[in-house]
Chains A and B, each alone.
Chain A
Amino acid sequence: MATRMKLKLKTVFVLYFMVSLLGLIYALMQLGQRCDCTEHDLPKDRTISRLRGELHRLQEQMRKSEATKQPLKQAAKLSPPTIFVITPTYARLVQKAELTRLSQTFLHVPQLHWIVVEDSPHKTPLVTDLLVKSGLTYTHLHMPTAKDRKLQEGDPNWLKPRGVEQRNEGLRWLREDRRAQPGGDTQEGVIYFADDDNTYSLQVFEEMRSTQRVSVWPVGLVGGMKYEKPVVEGGKVVRFHTGWRPSRPFPMDMAGFAVSLKLVMANPEACFDGEAPMGFLESSLLQGLVTMDELEPKADNCSKVLVWHTRTEKPKMKREEALQAQGIGSDPAVEV
């Protein structure tokens, strides 16, 4: 009895062993095959692996930039000088569009500090929200233009100078309030007056970064010409190529020069003169800062156009006005 049972047990064991071994081999063979249920997962996992690769790449870049930033924070002299861009702006239909595409350009420029000065008695929510969402380093200021200095509806653009009080307010902030901020003691920086309807290439910011006193370059589509530019001989500016009133001390556009922060701080009285005759606005500031032979020509000895004085058309609102007269204008809650 015992032996028979023993024998049976032995066979049971052997059978069991064989069955489980076969099952194991079958399972292993299954792994070697493509199975329908895993087909869908393949692309997902491949994308995960690619995302991981990108993640690693971005992290590496970040680590590199952090590594270069850390010692820079201690030795401020080594960091690239900050470009302070002063932009006066005022509320009109295309304001949000202009500031949006301007911020898209600025977002590519490292070490840029945007100073937006609204022509308004208080900060508007439109500009506030836009600046917050832009991702840029910014300062939001406001300074209303005095009524008698302001352009009225129907006035031609050249009748009164625009943006004077706002630009001066930007300069004042740089001279006074910025000092109070951490890191505000550094005088390394370049100031650029960028109007909100011009077009800027990314190269112009790199050209102006090395400004020691005042640097200049050509501006496209201004002064009734394809471009206006300083004429450079022997590495120095000798005169200006312009089609309109070339006898001005500095016959160039606001977008055609940049001033070093140091120079502005060293001359606390230098600012834009709102009473200056038409076209003399730029000269009113630069006269007090620099002479023509001290100007630094950029953009390949002033031979390339890197900034354009574009102007945006006022959108036609005839139908809108007609609707509003009927009381069924477009929803004012929708911000344009």
Chain B
Amino acid sequence: MPKRRDILAIVLIVLPWTLLITVWHQSAIAPFVAIRKDDRVEGRGEAGGQAQDSKEYCASDKYIVEVVRTEYVYTRPPPWSDVLPTIHIITPTYSRPVQKAELTRLANTFLHVPNLHWILVEDSQRRTPLVTRLLRETGLNYTHLNVETPRNYQLRGDIRDPRIPRGTMQRNLALRWLRETFNANNSQAGIVYFADDDNTYSLELFEEIRSTRKVSVWPVAFVGGLRYESPKVNAAGKVYGWKTVFDPHRPFAIDMAGFAINLRLILIKPQAYFKLRGVKGGYQESSLLRELVTLNDLEPKAANCTKILVWHTRTEKPVLVNEGKIGFTDPNVEI
């Protein structure tokens, strides 16, 4: 009898400790515990179920690294990831013969970039069917806006008001849309980039943009009458000036394609817009950036601003001499 009691005693001592140890062990790997404080029973059940999954998750940590080297899969666009910050690309556009071609090759570039949101703003009274159809067929994640730059009625013809730099109203509309759609408390990470429809962008550029915390900058080719313009970066990795010939004393002597802004900064400074009128040539970018950031806060990208990842290409205006006065080709065929 005493023997049995001893055994019983030993069991009673060991059992709670083993239970405790196993439960603590599981909890160490699986912090996926129940959410609600009142639903304790559920919580425990979930913890038990998820605890098993957690082990698998941990094990698969190793595999995630190896996946990067898979073959290129022709999915257009790449699947949306909840980890990567979204790049909001603001592109103003206007109707002219090369518009569809420009937007087509731009879309071909963007289709390679994960988590991209294209905000296309037309300079028109109404959204045109050409752009609507093009955006739909690409399969990209997009927002289609439009605002018409007021025409200068003093000049005859289709001349827009020359005091308003091209694309300004469209970019401002996109900024306003962003501020109305997202709020600063929303933890969705995003970066805003102004991409004109005739430039050329390398895919590396978008990955550099993604790590922007406030405002990042990099060199741009073929601007300012030079091979490239670039920010001056000192040994400490801070921007202290601008390597340009055209007015290097501008607050931000940089092209529209040479910087990106974190979405949060746009949202917490809702008064910052591109200045509409009275802006000297080349000062448009400064009119926005000086309200958002100082020179010291700029983050240099592209290997401390030594690599060219974006080119300010311009497409020739096609010479349509053979169309004649009444037009030779069928106007119903969309180009």
Comparing A102-110, A161-169, A268-276, the segment that makes contact with chain B is A102-110
- Specify which of A17, A50, A57, A94 is in contact with B311 (CB 8 Å cutoff): A94
Q: Provide the bound-state CA to CA distance between A35 and B314, in Å.
A: 57
9-residue interface stretch from A21-29, A139-147, A172-180: A21-29
Q: Known contacts A58-B79, A243-B323, A312-B314; is A101 also within 8 Å of B19 by CB?
A: no
B12:A13 contact, CB within 8 angstroms: yes
Residues of B within 8 Å of A35, CB to CB, are 31, 33
Residue pair A31, B44 in contact (C-beta under 8 Å) = yes
- Closest residue of chain B to A221, judged by CB? B318
A residues less than 8 Å from B109 (CB atoms):
101, 104-105
Query: Measured between C-beta atoms, what is the minimum distance from A179 to chain B in Å?
Result: 27
Beyond A58-B70, A311-B316, whether A220 also contacts B227 by CB under 8 A is no
Decide: A108 near B74, CB < 8 A? Known: A224-B321, A224-B323, A226-B97. yes
Does B32 contact A42, Cβ atoms closer than 8 Å? Answer: yes
| Chain A proximity of B126: nearest CB distance (Å) | 22
User: How many of chain B's residues touch chain A, expressed as a range?
Assistant: 35 or more
Known: A58-B67, A135-B72. A50 touches B81 (CB 8 A): yes
**Once the chains bind, are B306 and A334 in contact (CB under 8 Å)?**
yes
> Contacts A97-B200, A221-B318 known; A303 to B83 CB distance under 8 Å?
no
Stretch at the interface among A83-91, A257-265, A279-287, A317-325: A317-325
Taking a contact as CB atoms under 8 Å apart, the answer to whether A32 and B47 are in contact is yes
A315 to B198 CA separation, bound complex (whole angstroms): 13
Q: Do residues A45 and B31 form an inter-chain contact, with CB atoms below 8 A?
A: yes
B182: CB under 8 A from chain A? Answer: no
- Contact indicator A20/B20 (Cβ below 8 Å): yes
* Interface membership of chain B positions 179-199, coded 1 if the CB is closer than 8 angstroms to chain A and 0 otherwise: 000000000000000000000
- Asked if A303 meets B313 with Cβ closer than 8 Å, knowing A17-B12, A32-B33, A38-B33, the reply is no
Inter-subunit contact A227/B335 (CB<8 Å): yes
A interface residues with partner B (beta carbon < 8 Å): 13, 16-17, 20-21, 23-24, 27-29, 31-35, 37-38, 41-42, 45-52, 54-55, 57-59, 61-62, 65, 93-94, 96-98, 100-101, 104-105, 107-108, 110, 135, 199-202, 218, 220-221, 223-227, 229, 241, 243-244, 303-305, 308-313, 315-320, 322-323, 329-330, 334-336
Q: Which A-B residue pairs are the 8 nearest by beta carbons?
A: A243-B322, A319-B225, A38-B31, A224-B322, A308-B101, A97-B311, A315-B222, A20-B16
